[in-house]
Chain A
């Protein structure tokens, strides 16, 4: 278990990440609802758990791999990477979405070699990561492969192809995190017209042969504890950490609503309100 000092540092960093997400959304369109919900898990991954993951592919074969399967959360990923030492916040803010930029709405490894893979088409990440994990397993490598899934993304059939495949090939070095914020682009996931109901999501993964951990994904202590307790890379059962989160976490007018799935926070008053309110997340 991480010491109190580490947890406090991570909480500070998660708040900083959220503030940067909000400020970035004032300049450009990002998927800020989901960025705010997964910020704690991204902070813990990038600033606590993952080993040497910020180097160019191939430089450090032993690095932990990370794939943002919910590629539309790229804004949060870029900020997490920059905070951890890869790229700069200024560059993100100055170039996002422009011709030649390393930063766009979905991660692109052609433009940005710091990305493990290019992602954005939902559903592919889990199986693609299974390929990364299977390669590592066969080589006897000790690193983990992490991927962040959106909950709405779990409507994709490809996720369940990947879930079957990872269990079948005993990919215990694979860890999927689900940003279970209960809301997809159009509506809450469990409503009749909110896409296809996902619950009981944990039981589904269990039935597919996965090790399932359910946590409050907006509680740093629980996130760190879950990451501390993932199985060793040479184990046989893949793990899914279902992080129960709040979409738009920390901003009253964004929480739990699909309205801020993506967008821009252009109104200076709303931005100021959001930046003020989000500070509360630091002390929860």
Chain B
């Protein structure tokens, strides 16, 4: 068991942390560019103020942001696009697919305000299908960091990759930090936070701290449940999924996204093709457009919070 914080014991802020990481990177790499469709000020305000020559605002034109970034990347620049994940992937998804992935353009994208973390915004702004969409794009690395510290690690790792990478953040403010100890971060290698005997919870993004909490509570009830931080959905860590399946035969997946095609879908694909007998329960947003509500309310009503995870493990 890795040393972790309790749920909401320590809060992190991925947006300002990435802002600072970008500033450092931009100084070292003059070819770095930040591009945003008018939401840059909400995301990286300090960067924009201090590095105006390395920032482009395309206005409220998400596709232009992706296409501009692709063009710059093809000329050797290192552009990062920052935008709301729902618009990145639906309005400008073709820009990501055809002008980044197909061209193998060295563009990195940050999708913020994902899942249901934008409580009062409603389903126009909830990015629920972004994982499912992006997982189908060849050449793309798709990563959902679990906390602010990991978001910075992913930023640094992405800068070492010559090709498209998508980082899916939550709200990027006041979210639980997970790890109390340092660890090696590598795309495609999930992190086994706890080893399980009675099942595994495989989570991604901001659901990881909730999964850790569920496992802790289950331990008090006498069940040893493993927890996997599956930060990279593509390429997914098949080995770790197979280990969880082989050792316990029970997997619960949890994500703040539609369960169709997202993390749950990816885990099912691997488990089913592995031939290892294993029951899987997917938790996340079911097949409906959620109404308004805080993140905690959404988890409770849609059934993917701590209690739902505990029930699901017991029911398998």
- Chain A residues proximal to chain B, CB less than 8 Å: 57, 109-110, 116-118, 120-121, 124, 127-136, 157-158, 161-162, 164-165, 169
Contact = CB atoms under 8 A, between A and B. Distances in A.
A133 B71 CA distance: 8
Contacts of A131: 67-75
Classify the interface of chain A: helix, strand, loop or mixed. helix
B296 to A, nearest CB: 38
Contacts of A57: 74
B76 A135 contact: yes
B67 A127 contact: yes
Contacts of A169: 56
8 contacts: A124-B63, A128-B70, A135-B72, A161-B61, A161-B63, A164-B64, A165-B59, A169-B56
Given A131-B72, A131-B75, 13 more contacts: A57-B74, A118-B98, A124-B99, A128-B68, A130-B64, A130-B68, A131-B73, A135-B75, A161-B58, A161-B63, A164-B59, A165-B59, A165-B64
Contact of A127 (B64, B103, B104): B64
Contacts of B71: 117, 127-135
Interface size class of B (residues with CB under 8 A): 20 to 34
A127 B98 contact: no
Contacts of A110: 102, 104
Interface string B85-123: 000000000110011001110000000000000000000
B77 interface: yes
Contact of B74 (A120, A121, A132, A157): A132
B60 to A, nearest CB: 10
A109 B101 CA distance: 12
Nearest to B64: A161
Contacts of A132: 71-72, 74-75
Nearest to B97: A121
Contacts of B73: 131
Nearest to B139: A110
A118 B58 CA distance: 22
Nearest to B102: A118
Contacts of B70: 117, 128, 131
A124 B95 CA distance: 8
A120 B75 CA distance: 20
A137 to B, nearest CB: 10
A120 B64 CA distance: 16
Contacts of B74: 57, 116-117, 128, 131-132
A121 B92 CA distance: 13
A124 B67 contact: yes
